[in-house]
Structure 1
Amino acid sequence: MTDRNIPDVFAPAKLGPITLRNRIIKAATFEAATPGALVSDDLIEYHRRPAAGGVGMTTVAYCAVAPEGRTEANQIWMRPEAVPGLRRLTDAVHAEGAAASAQIGHAGPVANEASTGLPALGPTRQFNPLGMRMVRGATLADIDRIRRAHGDAARYAVESGFDAVEIHFGHNYFASSFLSPKINKRTDAYGGSLANRARLVRETAQTVRDAVGGKIAILAKLNMDDGVPGGFWLDEAVQVAQWLEQDGSLDAIELTVGSSLLNSMYLFKGDVPLREFAAAMPEPVRTGMKLVGKHFLKSYPYKDLYMLEEARQIRAAVRMPLVLLGGVTDRAGMDIAMAEGFDFVAMARALLREPDLVNRIETEPATRSLCIHCNKCMPTIFTGTRCVLVTPGTHP
């Protein structure tokens, strides 16, 4: 790209049928603020703060498309009872000048059967080391029901005033687990070849497009690799991105990595808060975490823009809009993303520490994030997601 056509990250930008005030998206980070699987005032404030702090769009996570598709019983699942609260949330975000996106998906083998009381579903029967239970292999009827449920969830998102939905095709959740040759051992039309393993992703995206047309923007969070030997990898991700572009079902893809089931730290990079995770767990999981947790929570060094090298290969293979995630913390990183041809950037942990960071970067481009990538925010997903280094009540 030349200097003349490198976009300004703070200029308004089209995303499908909507226009964002800038190219910065608050990425989905589970909030742990939905008691009874409904919106709370805390959830509204959680998203109002970064909206007031300058992001172009904030992403509500996680909105399950079916009750068994949750990783925790109090997570929202999209149904009529959830709409009034979600409407209050989108109204609050809109009042601050930002757009609102709902991350919709099904946790699949990552779902917590012990919490929800409902069977976790995956491509094939397997053991879930997180829930210490077996995952049931989804039937063709299950696959069809969950696919259609994504369309229903998108319609509820429209009714709730969302400007966009982000379909969760990452982290070995339901659709992502079908992409993985390590997890998906099916021998029918949804297993085996990449074309078959990608069938569910493509059908789900098209179902959402058919459900909402051009009323709202449709994004998908897509794994570039699982970070697991024998899992979904970049060469296959390039092909899946090309198929999704050819299908025309999406307005943008947000690129991600890692497996919530088998290698969660591959997504986050930085310190491993093993002691904090153990303290947040009930017994006997707490003791097990202390004894063998280091084998499940592997350490990966943090660097800014840590997904850029892989994301470049997707960028070279498709023309559709892409969102760069991972270590976006300052204006320099944002400008690099724009110069590399990405259309949007997404921020997560840095905004937990400083919800007003975007406004401050716009005012003073040399502003540095205070996030130290300690990842001690991760265990707070059980009690209310937050930066543990921030004094309560000090957010703008």
Structure 2
Amino acid sequence: MTLAPGTPSPDVFSPGKIGNVTLRNRIVKAATFEGRTPKGRITQELIDFHTEYARGGVGMSTVAYLATSPEGRTDKHCYHWGMDDGGMLRKLTDAVHAEGAAVSAQIGHAGAVANATSTGLRPLGPSRIAAPAGLSVTKACTEADIDRVVEDHVKAARGAAEAGFDAIEVHFGHNYLVSEFLSPKLNRRKDSYGGSLENRARLARRIGRAIRDAMGDRIAVTIKLNMDDGVPGGFWIEEAVQVAKWLEQDGSADALVMTVGSSLLNPIYLFKGEAPLAEFAATQPPVIQMGMKVVGPRMFKSYPYTDAYMLDDARQIRDAVSLPMMLLGGIVDRPSIDKAMDSGFEFVAMARGLLREPDLPLKMQADERRRSLCVHCNRCMATIYQGSRCVLREHVPAVPARG
């Protein structure tokens, strides 16, 4: 809940607790796809990526995106739980812990965001919907598919715990599979998983409850939930408030991370700022480049950037639940952090600012006036296929292109 009048807000550099895990401070490196798992292999480059943020002062770093299922990968270069990682995930968690930070694994199923041409597997969806990355159409989930997806999430949670992760972030946002089920625009089912909000939220609630039943307090569980898909007819804030209440009622989450946007239909809505259409198109195969000339300007829209731009919407969730919450979006300096803390958020999550300056937390701790150097050009989005990085950090080498 929002802090009562006169209640002091926590200092961002004080320890904070999520479930059974205590973080040394309240700054979390948000999940940003790293592009450092060629053909699904966990690499030393991925370990170094997260170790740098731990060394730079974050309380926890989030490894993205570790798919729950083979067809739930975004492409063939995405790791999925069940692959042999050769002990590298344990090496990653040990390396982050050695720097004093906690580490979380983002788990989820990509649904229609998956590239079937790359994975060789037909993607799943709540209904038959377009899966544009692979120029394909999803298979509408059967009851058996849904049961398997739920169990795959449980297996992923177990795998994360066994690899030494302190927490998992269960991905219910960005029009990945669970978010597609939540969306009245994408979910056209007529059974108990479609229609009413209660039905559309059934998969999310089943996954959350199944993980909790299987794991107890063995691993901290955060849930990333959309507040707004950013598309007409999509999931909206009033529904997000109710789903957040249900997740709290179910005891599924130790903390909530609210987000917005659709990787499927409106990706810049999440990031705000400039839309790097030309840079992103240049990374795609020729056939996709041709398509982007037609649909790109409609899909990649520019939105005005402001600091802490999700705060007003996230406050509506904050007022409705008592769970710890993490504010994401435009967290760039102490004023934006203090505004979040004063509004009752226990943690903040940073992404682009840390890509620009991995040691930003240490700099901010040393100088309260320090502001991120990120200019929100979003050109980092176009680097994910060769290793996500800030293009303004020219001294950071790119990861070799993936085949």
1:95 pairs, out of 67, 77, 98, with: 98
C-alpha contact 2:125 2:139 (8 A) present in aligned 1: yes
User: For residues 63-118 of structure 1, what are the alpha-carbon distances to aligned partners after superposition, in whole Å with 9 as ceiling and x for unaligned?
Assistant: 00011001111111012512611100001100100000000000011111011000
The match for 1:220 among 218, 223, 226 is 223
2:84 aligned with 1:77: no
User: In the alignment, which residue of structure 2 is the partner of 1:383?
Assistant: 386
- Corresponding residue of 1:245: 248
Structure 2 equivalent of residue 26 of structure 1 = 29
Is 1:315 matched with 2:318?
yes
In the TM superposition, residue 129 of structure 1 has moved relative to its aligned partner by 2.8
- Aligned residue in 1 for 2:207: 204
Q: Name the counterpart of 1:164.
A: 167
Is the Cα–Cα contact under 8 Å of residues 83 and 159 in structure 1 kept in the other structure? no
Whichever residue aligns with residue 41 of structure 2, its letter is L
Matched to 1:123, the amino acid is: P
Q: Establish whether residue 12 from structure 1 lines up as the match of residue 15 from structure 2.
A: yes
Q: Which residue of 2 aligns with 1:353?
A: 356
Instruction: Map 1:367-378; keep pairs closer than 5 Å.
Output: 367-378=370-381
> For structure 1, which segment, 281-290 or 174-183, has the greater mean C-alpha deviation from structure 2 after superposition?
281-290
Between 30-39 and 79-88, the greater mean CA deviation after superposition:
79-88
Shift of 1:313: 0.5
- Contact in 2 for aligned 1:50/1:356 (Cα 8 Å): yes
Name the CA distance, whole Å, in 1 between partners of 2:355 and 2:384. 12
* Partner SS state of residue 336, structure 1: helix
Distance in 2 of aligned mates of 1:211 and 1:166: 16
Residue 171 of structure 2 is aligned to residue 147 of structure 1: no
Which stretches in structure 2 are left out of the alignment for 5+ residues? 399-403
Unaligned stretches of 5+ residues in structure 1:
none
In the TM superposition, what are the counterparts of 1:233-312 in structure 2 within 5 Å? 233-312=236-315
Instruction: Tell me the distance in 1 between the aligned counterparts of 2:225 and 2:160.
Output: 20
1:83–1:192: structure 2 CA closer, same or farther, 3 Å change rule? farther
Distance in 2 of aligned mates of 1:394 and 1:260: 27
How far residue 135 of structure 1 moved from its aligned partner, in angstroms, is 1.2
| Contact 1:62–1:104, Cα closer than 8 Å, also in 2 | yes
TM-score computed with the length of structure 1 as normaliser:
0.98
Q: Distance in 2 between matches of 1:271 and 1:206?
A: 38
Which residue type is aligned with residue 45 of structure 2?
D
Q: 1:292 to 1:203 in 2, by over 3 A?
A: closer
Identity %: 59
Tell me, yes or no, if the aligned pair for 1:254 and 1:323 is still in contact at 8 Å.
yes
8 Å CA contact retained: 1:234, 1:310: yes
Query: Could you tell me how far apart the structure 2 residues matched to 1:192 and 1:4 are?
Result: 42
| RMSD of aligned Cα (Å) | 1.3
- The aligned residue for residue 39 of structure 1 is 42
Q: Quote the residue 2:401 is aligned against.
A: none
- List per-residue Cα deviations over 1:168-203 (Å, max 9, x = no partner): 000011111000000000011100100000000001
Does the residue aligned with 1:382 lie in a helix, a strand or coil? coil
After TM superposition, the score normalised by the length of structure 2 is 0.96
Whether the aligned pair in 2 keeps the contact of 1:103 and 1:166 (CA below 8 Å) is yes
How big is the shift at 1:290?
3.0
Which residue pairs with 2:53 in the alignment? 50
Contact 1:270 1:300 in 2 (8 A): yes
Alignment check: 8 A CA contact 2:115 2:131 kept? no
One-letter identity of the residue aligned with 2:326: V
CA contact (8 A) 1:274 1:290 kept: no
Task: Please tell me whether the aligned partners of residues 167 and 220 of structure 2 are also in contact (alpha carbons under 8 angstroms).
Answer: yes
Separation in 2, partners of 1:390, 1:290: 29
Deviation of 1:35 after TM superposition, in Å, equals 1.4
Matched residue, 2:332: 329
2:76 corresponds to which letter in structure 1?
A
* Partners of 1:79 and 1:158 in 2: CA distance: 14
What does the per-residue CA deviation read over 1:230-270, in whole Å, with 9 as the maximum and x for residues that have no partner?
A: 01000000000000011111100100000111111110100
Q: What SS is found at the alignment partner of 1:130?
A: helix
1:4 and 1:137 mapped to 2: Cα distance? 49
Q: Distance in 2 between matches of 1:3 and 1:341?
A: 12
- Judge conservation of contact 1:275–1:290 (CA < 8 Å) in 2: no
How far apart are the structure 1 equivalents of 2:76 and 2:47? Answer: 19
CA pair 19-356 structure 1, distance change in 2 beyond 3 A? same
State whether residues 113 and 132 of structure 2, in contact with CA within 8 Å, keep that contact through their aligned partners in structure 1: no
Query: Could you list the runs of 4 or more consecutive aligned residues of structure 1 that deviate by over 2 angstroms after TM superposition?
Result: 1-5, 128-131, 392-395
Matched, 1:123 2:145: no
Native 8 Å contact 1:83 1:156 kept in 2: no
Query: Once the two structures are superposed, what CA deviation does each residue of 1:300-336 show, in whole Å capped at 9, x if it has no partner?
Result: 1111001011001111111111110000011111111
| Aligned residue type for 1:263 | N
